């Protein structure tokens, strides 16, 4: 945390976060039960190399219900309210994609042993006509905002947002000004107060993606292709940017961390395209494709061509590097984005994936590689699944990685990972020249959990990280 007497949570600026000497010592991860025969739980992992319990799960908070499919998490307070000393990053918000339930977890009383504080039940969400809660962001006004992907128990697509009271955590209502300001689909979002804008992304109908990926449903429009641009103050949907068929499933969206920036990146998952979005000279918003990962021609797979499936993206706190994972191809890439219109590949590492040499899939034509990547092992155990969720240390030197995407799709594409459990890794980053290298001293094998294998997903640091916190311009002058 920032070292000042009257500070609220986080840091005054991205630069302050980047240059801080603070280093993550523990992280929190949701752990999903593949067969839904026992409750999901929140794991606390020791990431302090000087600790005797380094690279192990040190506590588990088991939730009371079965079938939640906890997924992404967020905070009750973050750097957007850094100037408010009455605010505290005391609660981790844990939505359940599958159950429409939201858990409020106390991480302040004992950060090493989080405790369940409150539960928002599904009927409380359904009363506002929303379901399938996903991305959580804290707001400067004290409330918590969560994107919702569905319309209720029917699980039809509906891109809305639920607001939670920052004190009681009770749902207060939905965020869009009117029903006309609700998008057909929802997923992630990022707001930028300085430019009075919020942009959201689209996955698809929950009733579709919970069954697994069916390409016929991609063809019939059951998955989204748009970026939805909102007037932040008025809560009005003012523009829709269609990325087209190649931009289907625009999932993770990241503005540059600079709170005055007028641009950022969004990863369109299925066909592995990276788009830069930006504010135009006319004052509206636009998008252009800046990275295109080619399909691999293959034999022994469900289709003759295998797309990369770009599932997570992250930007370093100094806005120098962009990282993303290709979940089917099995690699993580690092790009220098000093020139945001022309990202430069500076690092790449493969582990796991669907095109490993000696496996059931043979690559017959590859525009990038001359040979298929080899099988990799971590502490003598074969790596199943592929790089998926990413989290980066504030100084940009450690990239944390887990291998599970979503249990219903994990079962479809990586059944052995569902059987044996997911893994968590650290990739060491060369922040000066670029470059990535798997850290051989760190591995958390979630196949070795006491009650059986689980699928660990998103990673959160107690002090805030590169995807949890949104910064407000001029915060330093408000202190």
Does the pLDDT of residue 4 top 60, yes or no? no
**What confidence category does residue 81 fall into, taking pLDDT thresholds of 50, 70 and 90?**
confident
DSSP label at residue 378: E
Q: What is the pLDDT of residue 2?
A: 42
Q: Cβ distance 454 to 32 under 8 Å?
A: yes
Residue with tokens 């007028």: 262
pTM: 0.96
pLDDT given at position 475: 60
pLDDT per residue as tens digits for the range 161-176: 999 999 999 999 999 9
Give the pLDDT confidence score for residue 239 in this predicted structure: 98
Distances in whole angstroms, Cα of residue 71 to Cα of each of 77, 115, 167, 248, 345: 19, 18, 23, 21, 30
Q: What six digits make up the tokens of 354?
A: 């669907």
**pLDDT reported for residue 477:** 56
Instruction: Answer yes or no: is pLDDT of 79 > 90.
Output: no
* Structure confidence at residue 463 (pLDDT): 85
User: At residue 476, does pLDDT exceed 80?
Assistant: no
What average pLDDT score do residues 31-48 get?
97
Residue 3 is predicted with a pLDDT of: 43
Confidence of residue 1 (pLDDT cuts 50, 70, 90): very low
Measured at the CA of 271, the angle between CA 266 and CA 272, to 5 degrees, comes to: 45
Sequence-distant (≥ 6) Cβ neighbours of residue 84 within 8 angstroms: 8, 142
Question: 443: closest CA among 20, 3, 55?
Answer: 55
- Work out the average pLDDT over 141-150: 95
**Is residue 9's pLDDT more than 80?**
no
Q: Does residue 478 have a pLDDT over 60?
A: no
Instruction: Give the C-alpha separation, 359 to 374, whole Å.
Output: 10
Cα 328 to Cα 408, 418, 441, distances in angstroms: 15, 15, 25
Tens digits of per-residue pLDDT, 439-463?
999 999 999 999 999 999 999 999 8
> Mean pLDDT across the stretch 240-247?
97
Say what the pLDDT of residue 429 is: 98
Q: What is the mean pLDDT of the chain?
A: 94
């Amino acid at each position: 945390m920032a070292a000042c007497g009257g500070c609220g949570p986080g840091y005054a600026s991205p630069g302050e976060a980047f240059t801080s000497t603070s280093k993550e010592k523990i992280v929190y991860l949701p752990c999903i039960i593949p067969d839904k025969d026992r409750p999901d739980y929140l794991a606390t992992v020791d990431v302090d190399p000087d600790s005797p319990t380094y690279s192990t799960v040190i506590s588990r908070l088991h939730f009371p219900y079965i079938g939640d499919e906890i997924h992404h998490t967020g905070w009750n307070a973050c750097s957007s309210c850094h100037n408010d000393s009455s605010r505290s990053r005391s609660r981790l918000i844990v939505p359940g994609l599958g159950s429409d339930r939201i858990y409020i977890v106390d991480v302040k009383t004992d950060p090493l042993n989080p405790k369940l504080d409150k539960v928002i039940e599904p009927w409380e969400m359904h009363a506002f006509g929303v379901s399938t809660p996903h991305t959580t962001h804290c707001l400067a006004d004290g409330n918590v905002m969560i994107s919702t992907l569905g319309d209720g128990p029917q699980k039809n697509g509906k891109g809305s947002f639920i607001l939670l009271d920052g004190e009681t955590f009770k749902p207060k209502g939905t965020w869009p000004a009117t029903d006309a300001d609700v998008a057909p689909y929802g997923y992630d979002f990022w707001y930028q107060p300085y430019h009075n804008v919020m942009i959201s992304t689209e996955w698809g109908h929950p009733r579709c993606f919970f069954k697994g990926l069916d390409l016929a449903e991609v063809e019939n429009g059951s998955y989204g292709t748009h970026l939805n641009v909102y007037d932040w103050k008025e809560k009005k949907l003012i523009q829709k940017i269609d990325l087209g068929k190649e931009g289907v499933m625009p999932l993770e969206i990241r503005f540059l961390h600079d709170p005055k920036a007028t641009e950022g990146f969004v990863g369109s998952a299925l066909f592995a395209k990276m788009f830069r979005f930006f504010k135009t000279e006319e004052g509206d918003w636009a998008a252009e494709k800046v990275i295109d990962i080619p399909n691999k021609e293959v034999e022994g797979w469900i289709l003759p061509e295998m797309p990369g499936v770009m599932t997570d993206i992250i930007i370093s706190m100094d806005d120098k590097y962009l990282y993303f994972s290709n979940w089917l191809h099995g690699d993580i890439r690092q790009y220098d984005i000093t020139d945001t219109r022309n990202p430069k590949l500076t690092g790449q590492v493969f582990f796991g994936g669907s095109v490993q040499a000696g496996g059931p899939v043979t690559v017959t034509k590859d525009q990038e590689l001359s040979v298929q990547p080899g099988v990799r092992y971590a502490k003598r155990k074969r790596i199943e699944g592929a790089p998926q969720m990413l989290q980066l240390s504030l100084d940009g030197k450690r990239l944390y990685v887990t291998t599970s995407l979503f249990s219903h799709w994990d079962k479809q594409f990586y059944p052995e990972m569902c059987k044996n459990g997911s893994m968590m890794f650290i990739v060491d980053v060369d922040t000066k020249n670029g470059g990535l290298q798997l850290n051989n001293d760190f591995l958390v094998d979630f196949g070795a959990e006491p009650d059986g294998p689980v699928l660990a997903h998103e990673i959160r640091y107690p002090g805030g990280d590169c995807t949890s916190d949104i910064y407000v311009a001029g915060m330093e002058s408000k202190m």
